[in-house]
Amino acid sequence: VGVIEDDPVLRAAVRQTLAQRREWTLALEAGCLADAAPLPELDVLLLDLGLPDGSGLGLIAPVSATSCK
């Protein structure tokens, strides 16, 4: 699972929730687009669309070309 979210409280909540699930691993945690590059291979990406360094919309096409949901 990858999380790109600029709100640190929300990011921490997602991290804590994933830590309770053994079958899920947090492979990427970033607060902006620059911190997420290059994207690792992910099964699921939770993506904030309004990030401080740009729109998350630009990642949707490249990510949808992979096996990521």
Q: What is the pLDDT of residue 31?
A: 97
Q: What is the pLDDT of residue 69?
A: 76
What's the predicted TM-score (pTM) here?
A: 0.90
Q: What is the pLDDT of residue 18?
A: 93
Q: What is the pLDDT of residue 68?
A: 87
Ranges under pLDDT 70 in the chain = none
Look-up: residue for tokens 């790109």? 4
Question: What is the Cα–Cα distance from 58 to 52, expressed in whole angstroms?
Answer: 14
Question: What is the Cα–Cα distance from 53 to 20, expressed in whole angstroms?
Answer: 31
Q: What is the pLDDT of residue 2?
A: 96
